[in-house]
Amino acid sequence: MEQGKSTNVVWHHATVTRERREAMNGHKSVILWFTGLSGSGKSTLAHAVEEQLHKHGCRTFVFDGDNVRHGLCADLGFSADDRVENIRRVGEMAKLFLEAGVMALTAFISPFRSDRARVRSLVPHGEFLEIYCRCSLEICELRDVKGLYKRARAGEIKDFTGISSPYEEPEKPELVVGTGTRPLEECVDQVIGLLQERGIIGAFPASDQWAHDNSTSR
Amino acid sequence: MEQGKSTNVVWHHATVTRERREAMNGHKSVILWFTGLSGSGKSTLAHAVEEQLHKHGCRTFVFDGDNVRHGLCADLGFSADDRVENIRRVGEMAKLFLEAGVMALTAFISPFRSDRARVRSLVPHGEFLEIYCRCSLEICELRDVKGLYKRARAGEIKDFTGISSPYEEPEKPELVVGTGTRPLEECVDQVIGLLQERGIIGAFPASDQWAHDNSTSR
C-alpha cells in the first residue's frame, strides 16, 4: 500500500487472490482440456461433468465453439494460423478462469500436440489436465451429429480433422476416456475420479454421486 | 437429450445455466466497466470494490492491463486498430465471466465512446454498468504513478490519452466517482450502493460494511 502523491487516495493492488477464491469455493481450480475428433463426445462429456460438479457446489464453465467462435474469436476463420490463434486465446482465457477460481472445461478438437503443449505451458504443473476423448473415426463418422463428415467427404469442407487434416493423439494425457464405446456415466465417473485423485475436489457423498432423471434411489 | 446414432452415448447440452450459477452464488453477475484517464484510479478502485465484494461472499474478477495485455492480448500493440481489438476482446471475455456467474470488473482507459458502446451492446440491458472515474488531467499527471505522463510529454509515447490522444467522457455512465478528490472508501461505497440499488447484490450487514486494517470496531 503506497500513498498517492498530493491526494488522499490510497493505492491498493489486488488483494483477492486465487487462494482466497479457492478457499471460498471449497475446491481448487483447474483446466480440463477435452480433446478428440469432431463427434467424439467432448462437449457432451464436458457438460455432463459440469452438471455433476455443479450439483456438488463447484464453480465451473465450459468453453466450446458455441460460446467462443461467435464472440472472442469471431474475427478468426479456419486457416492453419487462425486455428492456432483460436486455441491460444482459449488457453489464455482458461488461465484467467483458473485465476478466478473457476474450473475451466474446454471442448475443442485441438488436433495438434504443439497447440495443446503451448496451453499446458501457460499454467503451473498439474493445473492442466488433458483428457483424450478416444473414439474411432468410424464411430464419429457414423454419428455425424452436425453432418460435417458428409460435407468433408464431399469436399465441401477443407482441412477437416480426420479426413483431410491429421489428428495427433495425445502421447501422455492425464486421462483417456472411451467416449466411442463406453456409457457416458462411466466416462463422467472417470473424470470425477481424476479430480478427486488429484485433490482438486473432495470425495462426493456416495449417496448422491448420481441423480439421474430416471433414478428411483432418491 | 437425443440419442446418438448406433451408440450408447446420450447427447447432452449445457444444463448448468447462468441462472443456476447465480442462485448458487447468491448474487447476480454484471460487468462493471471502469473508465478514465491513466492514473485516475480505475484499477485501485476496482480492486478495492472487489475486496469488499469478496468479503461478502461474491464471486468477482478484475481485468486490467496486467492480466490481459501479457496474455489474451499479447499479440496486440497500441495502434488504433489494436486498441479497438483489445477492448473488443476484453468485452467478449467479460461476457463469458457474466455467463459464468462471476462479476467482471474491468479497468481500462477505454477512451472512445464507440468502443464502450460496442461492449455495452454485447450484453442485455442493465448488465453493463459504466463507471466513470473522474479525475482531472492535472491530478493524474501529478500522480504519474507509472511515469507515463512524463514520457508522453517528452514525446516518447505516441497517442497517449489526455496528452496526444483524446479521452471521450462518458455521456450517460451509470455512475460517476470522483477518484481525483474523494477518499477511496467513499468511491467504493458509491459502487457498492449502485450494485445494491440495481439488485445485483443484497444489502451488507451494517456492522461489517468496512473492515479497515486500522479499524477498532471489530
- Which of A187, A179, A177 shows the shortest CA–CA distance to A210? A187
- Predicted confidence (pLDDT) per residue in B140-188, tens digit: 999 998 899 999 999 999 889 999 999 999 999 999 999 999 999 999 9
Residue A124 forms part of a structural domain: yes
- Predicted confidence (pLDDT) per residue in A15-53, tens digit: 999 999 999 999 999 999 999 999 999 999 999 999 999
Its domain, for residue A184, covers 17-202
Q: How many domains are there within chain B?
A: 1
Residue B214 forms part of a structural domain: no
Q: Which residues of A touch B7 (CB under 8 A)?
A: 139, 142-143, 180-181
Residue A210 pLDDT greater than 70, yes or no: no
Q: Which of residues 182-201 of B touch A (CB under 8 A)?
A: 183-184
Residue A9 forms part of a structural domain: no
- Predicted confidence (pLDDT) per residue in A75-84, tens digit: 998 888 998 9
Q: Give pTM, 2 decimals.
A: 0.88
Say yes or no: A22 contacts chain B, CB-CB below 8 A: no
CB contact under 8 A, B93 and A93: yes
- Indicate which CATH number applies to the domain containing B49: 3.40.50.300
- Whether A165 is a known active-site residue: answer no
Q: Which of residues 129-148 of A touch B (CB under 8 A)?
A: 139, 142-145
Residue A135 forms part of a structural domain: yes
Q: Which residues of B touch A41 (CB under 8 A)?
A: 9
Q: Which residues of B touch A19 (CB under 8 A)?
A: none
- Predicted confidence (pLDDT) per residue in B99-115, tens digit: 999 999 999 999 999 99
Residue A25 forms part of a structural domain: yes
Residue A213 forms part of a structural domain: no
Q: Which residues of B touch A75 (CB under 8 A)?
A: 85
Residue B218 pLDDT greater than 60, yes or no: no
Q: Which of residues 2-21 of B touch A (CB under 8 A)?
A: 4-16, 20-21
Residue B136 forms part of a structural domain: yes
User: In chain A, helix, strand, coil percent, each to 5?
Assistant: 40, 15, 45
Strands B10-11 and B2-3: antiparallel
| Set of cell numbers at residue B192 | 457498492
What secondary structure, in 3-state letters, does chain B show? CEECCCCCCEECCCCCCHHHHHHHHCCCCCEEEEECCCCCCHHHHHHHHHHHHHHCCCCEEEEEHHHHCCCCCCCCCCCHHHHHHHHHHHHHHHHHHHHCCCEEEEECCCCCHHHHHHHHHHCCCCCEEEEEECCCHHHHHHHCCCCHHHHHHCCCCCCCECCCECCCCCCCCCEEECCCCCCHHHHHHHHHHHHHHCCCCCCCCHHHCCCCCCCCCC
Our CA-based measurement puts residue A217 at a distance from the nearest CA of chain B, in whole angstroms, of 21
Q: Which residues contact A168 (CB under 8 A, 6 or more apart)?
A: A111, A112, A113
Residue B199 pLDDT greater than 90, yes or no: yes
Q: Which residues contact B96 (CB under 8 A, 6 or more apart)?
A: A61, A63, A67, A71, A72, A93
Residue B120 forms part of a structural domain: yes
Mapped onto helix, strand or coil, the DSSP state of residue A5 is coil
- Phi/psi at B197 (5° precision): -55, -40
Mapped onto helix, strand or coil, the DSSP state of residue A201 is coil
Please provide the DSSP assignment of A118-170 as one string: HHHHHS-TTSEEEEEE---HHHHHHH-TTSHHHHHHTTSSSS-BTTTB-----
